[in-house]
Amino acid sequence: MRRACASVPRVRVPQFDMAGELAPVRAEIEAAALRVIASGRFIGGPEVEGFEAELARACGASHAIGVSSGTDALIVTLMALGVGAGDEVVTTPFTFFATAGAIARLGATPVFADVSDETLCLDPRAIAITARTKAVIPVHLFGRPAMIPSVDVPVIEDAAQAIGSGPVRGTAATLSFFPTKNLGAIGDAGAVLTDDAGLADKIARLRNHGARQRYHHDLVGGNFRLDAIQAAVLRAKLPWLDRWTAARRAIAARYRSLFASARVPAELRLPADDPAHVYHHYVIRAPRRDALREHLAAAGIGSEVYYPVPLHQQPCFAHLRSPALPIAERAAREVLALPMYPSLATPAQQLVVDEIARFYAA
């Protein structure tokens, strides 16, 4: 095999495998997309309605509202709850930017509370509710269901990484169908799940410029609609979700048993067991993380750092003068996501664990 550059190793185990992900459903996805093109119904219509009904059933929610992305799912839910300028929303600093970005986009202030060292999710004990607090957003990080705090304000679950991890426990849960998520579209897409009929109705209007009936606007919303083509593709993939989730859980269990018989330092921490975890990512906490990551890259093994900079330390939030959040800050230095995707085979996992053991033996 020719290599462009001798220092770039051949990828033996990628961190994520998009081609492998699409292979078993490729024909169904193509048929779904062609069906939409032939129908000429590109916005709204039966594909969107059909997907919403099937998604609500699959997730055990009374209502599912398809929207344009996981970010817009957060924005439109916050809008529906009346969150705006002068309000505060408590959330975790250890998440993808969109969680806090959505709060700030509405003119509200994200208030960061530290995470639990065991789960890396928002720690309910770290939350302080004030008169300005309008909502709390826990994030089901890497697919692990976060604790739902018992508070007197609405709780929005950011479940972008956690579809299939259980029923809605807060006021609403938001999903992302970004292509690499556990249920991925072929572009941007998202949804809001809720058991509150009034909230569902308001979100459905807000996603379409606040109109229940065309050209009659009772609210100022936006264009947060889900494309019909994405809905059709997601309908083709949704029946596979349970199988894929089971495969992810089996892969996580296999990592645990492979690590149990490998010589790795005691400080290397595996994700704590949780039967509801859907393992969007398999994230270990590793001593000498950056050197380990370089070693794996040189051995042709993909890995990723989610997330290197906690949100309270991002330049755009410097003006918030957040206090230090030591658990999140330490996690940012230690976390490493190992290869995780439903088709990941045992020999490849063995290779990953062997290379990690080799790094620490050196």
* In the complex, minimum distance from the CB of residue 121 to ligand PLP, in angstroms, rounded to a whole number: 11
Q: Which of 94, 112, 178, 359 binds ligand PLP (CB under 6 A)?
A: 178
* In the complex, minimum distance from the CB of residue 98 to ligand PLP, in angstroms, rounded to a whole number: 4
Kindly indicate which of the ranges 65-73, 227-235, 242-250, 264-272 contains the residues binding ligand PLP, using the contact rule CB under 6 A.
65-73
Minimum CB distance to ligand PLP smaller for 166 or for 300: 166
What is the spatial distance between Cα 21 and Cα 344, in angstroms, rounded to a whole number?
10
Q: Is 190 a binder of ligand PLP (CB under 6 A)? A: yes
* In the complex, minimum distance from the CB of residue 309 to ligand PLP, in angstroms, rounded to a whole number: 15
Minimum CB distance to ligand PLP smaller for 148 or for 297: 148
Q: Do 297 and 303 meet the contact criterion of CB atoms below 8 Å apart?
A: yes
Q: Which of 17, 158, 227, 334 binds ligand PLP (CB under 6 A)?
A: 158
3-class SS string, 291-316 = HHHHHHHHCCECCECCCCCCHHHCHH
Q: Is 160 a binder of ligand PLP (CB under 6 A)? A: yes
Q: Which of 17, 47, 48, 70 binds ligand PLP (CB under 6 A)?
A: 70
- 85-89's contacts with Cβ under 8 Å and 24+ in sequence apart are 86/132, 87/132, 87/133, 87/134, 88/130, 88/132, 88/133, 88/134, 89/133, 89/134, 89/135, 89/136, 89/137
Kindly indicate which of the ranges 129-137, 157-165, 234-242, 336-344 contains the residues binding ligand PLP, using the contact rule CB under 6 A.
157-165
In this structure, the strands spanning 156-158 and 172-176 are: parallel
Select the residue whose beta carbon is closest to ligand PLP and give its number.
70
CA geometry: angle 304, 331, 253, nearest 5 deg: 65
What is the spatial distance between Cα 331 and Cα 338, in angstroms, rounded to a whole number?
15
Q: Which of 15, 69, 245, 322 binds ligand PLP (CB under 6 A)?
A: 69
Q: Which of 15, 116, 165, 176 binds ligand PLP (CB under 6 A)?
A: 176
Q: Is 98 a binder of ligand PLP (CB under 6 A)? A: yes
Q: Which of 15, 91, 92, 95 binds ligand PLP (CB under 6 A)?
A: 95
Query: Alpha helices, DSSP H only, in the chain?
Result: 18-22, 26-39, 46-59, 70-80, 98-105, 197-206, 228-237, 241-260, 289-298, 326-334, 346-361
Q: Do 32 and 232 meet the contact criterion of CB atoms below 8 Å apart?
A: yes
Q: Is 139 a binder of ligand PLP (CB under 6 A)? A: yes
Name the site residues for ligand PLP (rule: CB under 6 A): 69-71, 95-96, 98-99, 139, 158, 160-161, 176, 178, 188, 190
